[in-house]
Amino acid sequence: MTRLDKVLAELKNQNKKGLFIYLMAGVPDEAGTIEAVKAAERAGANVIELGIPFSDPLADGPVIQEAGIKAIKGGMNLTRLLDLIKKIRTETQIPLIGMGYINNILHYGVEKFVKDFKEAGLDGMIIPDVPHEESADIRAVCKKEDFHLIEFVTPGTTVERMKETCSSADGFIYAVSVNGVTGARDGGAQAFGQAAVIDYEVIGKVAELVKKETNVPLAVGFGIGSPEAAVAAAKHSDAVIVGSAVVSKILQNKLGEAEKFIASLRTALDA
Ligand SMILES: O=P(O)(O)OC[C@@H](O)[C@@H](O)c1c[nH]c2ccccc12
Would you mind telling me the total number of residues written for the chain in this entry?
A: 271
Atom of ligand 1 nearest to the CA of 242: 4
What is the residue-averaged pLDDT of the chain?
Answer: 93
Residue 259 among the catalytic residues: no
Distance 175 CA to ligand 1 centre (A): 11
39 or 59, higher pLDDT: 39
247 or 196, higher pLDDT: 247
71-85, 140-154, 188-202, 213-227: segment of lowest average pLDDT: 188-202
Q: 180 pLDDT band (50/70/90 cuts)?
A: confident
Q: What is the pLDDT of residues 207-256, one digit of tens each?
A: 999 999 999 999 999 889 999 999 999 999 999 999 999 999 999 999 99
User: 256 and 43 in contact (C-beta within 8 Å)?
Assistant: no
Distance 221 CA to ligand 1 centre (A): 7
On whether the 3-183+195-270 domain is CATH 3.20.20.70, my answer is: yes
Alpha carbons 103 and 127: distance in angstroms, whole number = 10
Amino acid at 193: G
Q: Of 181, 173, 186, 111, give the one whose Cα is nearest residue 141.
A: 111
Out of 30, 41, 49, 259, the active site residue is 49
pTM to 2 decimals? 0.95
Residue 208 among the catalytic residues: no
